[in-house]
Amino acid sequence: MYLMGLAIAQEFADFPGGAAALAGSITRAAEGMRIMRWPAERLDTLGGYLTYHNVTMLMLGLAIYSAVQGTRMVRGEEQRHALEEILATGWSRWAVIRDRTVGFAIITAVVSLALAVGTAAAMAAGGESDLAGSLVTMVGVGLCGMVGYALGLLVSQLVPTARGAAGVSSIILTALYVLNNTWEELGWFGAVRFASPFYYANYLRALVPGYGFDLLATLALVVMADVLIGLAGLAFGRRFYGAALWHRRRRKELPAALPGVRRQRLFGFPSMALLFRGRVGLIAWAGGAGSFAGLMMALEPSVIDMWSTFSKYMPGAGTDSGVSIETIYAGFSGEIVALVIVAYVIVQTAAWTADLAEGRVEAVLATPVSWSRLVLERLVALVSGVACVTAGAIVGLVIGAAGVDFELAGAGLARLAADSVLFGAALGGVAAVVVAAFRRGAGVTAMAVLMTASYLQGYLAKMFEWPEWVQKYSLFSAFGNPYVEWPGSGQTVLLAVLAIAGTAVALAIAERTPKVA
């Protein structure tokens, strides 16, 4: 947030015509992209820009995170058999919900306060100090988070698994976010915004001139959270322990289909078994990447319009490179796949760590499979998964492009596919080393920190005019913009070295460490 404050203040200073001109240039594109972020008000001020650019997405992110935590708080604990002992002590179900909610509220308050301090620092760095506005804004963000938590808690009482509840809650929150952003275009259905926590939180955008603390909006968010928690408590009190409120009576099970020889052969390779086990998730990843890339492509006319006027905002080489503005935008849309791949690899890292902690590695290594082979096959599965995600993104790009009558270049798409797979292999190599070295959950955190640092490396190097090689050899810079052109040989070598050396180092570490948690 602090860095964003600095960057935006710098943009205001550098932009020809100053903040007002910058705001004018962005507003039109913002309108086109309102499905992702909205409202966009007073973009000529640091508070207005920060709120539009960062706070809106932060609100959604924190709400989804909180919803996932809400699903784990009771149902997740039940599935891990961690709640039975607490309930057996005589603690009531209501007390469990109350205590966990209070605990989560305290955590959310601390997080919101930290965010407010960061935002206040950003505002001060940009020359628009506003501590009160920062605090009020983050109260809105935190309350949105609490509504998300309450929604997750309630949904988890109604669906069979905590994992399923996390998915359903996230979809509901995302839908409410998008509907709130676009309600003016929805006719009578626009009334759905009143059910969206983001609608009320928008009244607390105190960093935007003209807004401040809104008691009614605050109360609305508190009431929403309380009602949802109350309903969750009622459902928890009425349902069977370990089952959703409404669950199908188990039908008489048919005898299990025995594992045939052909299916056994399929699972003779751990990579195939891993892909098969994660097939539903992989479809979701590919679908998500496709939707994201498709949406980006569908926004092409609005953004091209802005870039035509303000070429300064074009990424990469800009029009000076001799590449058409449309091609640059298509490349920019394609670059989205890099972010999805990073997220996918981090999730796979978490899965590898869990495999060791939950005894699956031990079970597999009790068969004639070596640690080295398992590490290699995991990487094969990961790269195959990356290929599927990339394919999903490319399909999304093609569909999005068709929607706006844009013709994509086959060669560009081929470069994008090849570079994405190489990028995935490089990340896989890094992830394999991190998992082999850390062995526990800290490895996932380390991987996330590494990726964030690498992502920021390029931006910060540019912003603070660090040496060119610092920017050039970040992971994301190495990915480049393959739709437009293949990244330089140095970057390709970097990715290949990371993939190969990472795998070799991971194998060496794995062979020397215990195969049990």
Which residues are at the interface with another protein (CB under 8 A)? 79, 163, 253-261, 263-268, 270, 273, 277, 358-360, 362-370, 512, 514-516
Shortest distance, position 281 Cβ to another protein, whole Å:
10
Q: Compute the least distance from the CB of residue 118 to another protein, in Å.
A: 36
Largest separation between any pair of C-alpha atoms in the chain: 75
Our CB check for another protein shows the closer of 245 and 496 to be 245
* Residue 79 vs 492, nearer CB to another protein: 79
The distance of closest approach from Cβ of residue 194 to another protein in the complex, given in angstroms and rounded to an integer, is 37
In the numeric block, which tokens belong to residue 325?
């503005």
The one-letter code for the residue type at 6 is L
Question: Which CB atom, from 242 or from 403, has the smaller least distance to another protein?
Answer: 242
Which residues, in sequence order, are CB contacts of 385 under 8 Å at separation 6+? 275, 278, 282, 285, 344, 348, 424
> What's the min distance (Å) between Cβ of 358 and another protein?
4
Q: Which two tokens stand for residue 265?
A: 């052969």
Which is closer to another protein, CB of 248 or CB of 512?
Answer: 512
Compare residues 13 and 363 and give the one whose CB is closer to another protein: 363
CA distance 81 to 84: 6
Which is nearest to 424 in space by CA: 443, 399, 400, 451?
A: 451
Q: Considering the complex, what minimum distance in angstroms separates the CB of residue 366 from another protein?
A: 4
Closer to another protein at the Cβ: 215 or 258? 258
Nearest distance in Å: CB 304, another protein: 44
Nearer to another protein by C-beta: 82 or 516? 516
Which of 344, 366, 336 minimizes the C-alpha distance to 427? 344
Residue 121 structure tokens: 């620092």
> What is the rounded CA–CA span in Å between residue 290 and residue 336?
10
Distance CA 315, CA 331 (A): 9
CA distance 369 to 272: 14
- Closest separation in Å from C-beta 276 to another protein: 8
- Closest by CA to 143, choosing from 80, 72, 221, 71, is 221
| Contact predicate 467/310, CB 8 Å | no
